[in-house]
Amino acid sequence: MKTITREWLKAANDDLIAMAVMSGREDITNMVAFHAQQAIEKSFKAVIEEFNLGNIKTHQLESLYSKILPLLSGFNETILAELDTVYIEARYPGDLGLMPHGKPSCDEAEIYREEAIKIKEQVEAFLTNRNS
């Protein structure tokens, strides 16, 4: 596995750790959603880097997912689309991690967290097994 691939996976794992610490706190569900988006983005970028699948200068999960679809599939595209609404430029910290309808509920945040964990684990297993 390439060094850059391992770095992307480490960065994704850092977001998973942040979500674990924040999980269940209704006051920061928006931040759980933001870190879920980030963990998934970084997981997809690990695959793109490992296989030289093209430009990764986007933050849009749906676009990144389309690049890895020949290799990995089965992820919840509805959740990816929802999380795509979370990522914004850091110009507006008050809006960071907010969905179009506002802060996600605790249940929604947990769904996003679980999907981020699933994607990161599947990506890591795929990359590890490929190199065995």
Q: Tell me what pLDDT residue 2 has.
A: 95
CA end-to-end span of the chain = 10
Distance CA 48, CA 24 (A): 32
Question: How far is CA 102 from its chain centroid?
Answer: 19
Output the pTM of the full model.
0.92
Delineate the domains of the chain, giving CATH numbers in brackets.
Answer: 3-130 (1.20.120.330)
Residues 6+ apart with CB under 8 A from 114: none
Q: Kindly give the confidence (pLDDT) of every residue in the chain, 132 residues in length, as a single tens digit, with 9 standing for 90 and above.
A: 999 999 999 999 999 999 999 999 999 998 999 999 999 999 999 999 999 998 889 899 999 999 999 899 999 999 999 998 887 643 455 666 677 777 899 999 999 999 999 999 999 999 999 866
- Contact in structure between 51 and 70 (CB atoms under 8 Å): no
Helix (H, G, I), strand (E, B) or coil at 102: strand
